[in-house]
Amino acid sequence: MSDKREVFVSVDVETAGPIPGEFSLLSIGACSIYEPEKTFACELKPINGNFDANALEVSGLSLDELARTGLTPSNAMRAFSHWLLTLARRNETLVFVGFNAPFDWSFVNYYFHRFSGSNPFGFTALDIKALYMGATGCGWSDTRSSRIAEKLKPALAGTHDALRDALYQAEIFRLIRSELIDKS
């Protein structure tokens, strides 16, 4: 067991499509899981015009609007990295936490490496769906956020706003830990 303190960070993204590089990362929302008042949010300029209509419909974001108002990817990732460094000291480990973490982490990892050279999370990514499945023994189909919310009764709800969803995910994570893991 490591003596390094782990700093859990809930991260949610909205994108223009299913894979990084081909489609743009459009918004990032993040919060410290155990200090949820510590938040980060930004919207990014698209890297190209590719989009999946369903992705834009779900998020309500506009590529044209973000091209005018979003941060450049370099500035966005630099700001995100600086914020992350305020959460963890040099000898502490940042842990990326997401609901369907493989999707969100793939965009964040790609953008950190492409636009800032390195990812402050390294290769840490903890998936809330997998954590819930392991804690309850349920099937994968029971890891949908609506099913988890039925069981855990969070105060917040998912909205497809990256910051609000990061806060919701943080609450779900805390509930899984306190109600299902720490009690066993």
Catalytic site residue from 147, 160, 164, 174: 160
Tally of CB atoms within 10 A around 4? 11
Q: 160 an active-site residue?
A: yes
DSSP-derived 3-state class of residue 27: strand
Cα(70)–Cα(183) distance, rounded to whole angstroms?
Answer: 44
Which alpha helices (H) appear in the chain, and where do they start and end? 53-59, 63-69, 73-87, 101-116, 128-136, 145-152, 162-175
Cα(171)–Cα(176) distance, rounded to whole angstroms?
Answer: 9
Residue 89: C-alpha distances to residues 4, 10, 50, 93, 148 (Å): 10, 18, 38, 8, 33
Residue type, 62: S
Cα(91)–Cα(4) distance, rounded to whole angstroms?
Answer: 6
Cα(115)–Cα(100) distance, rounded to whole angstroms?
Answer: 23
The residues assigned a catalytic role are 160
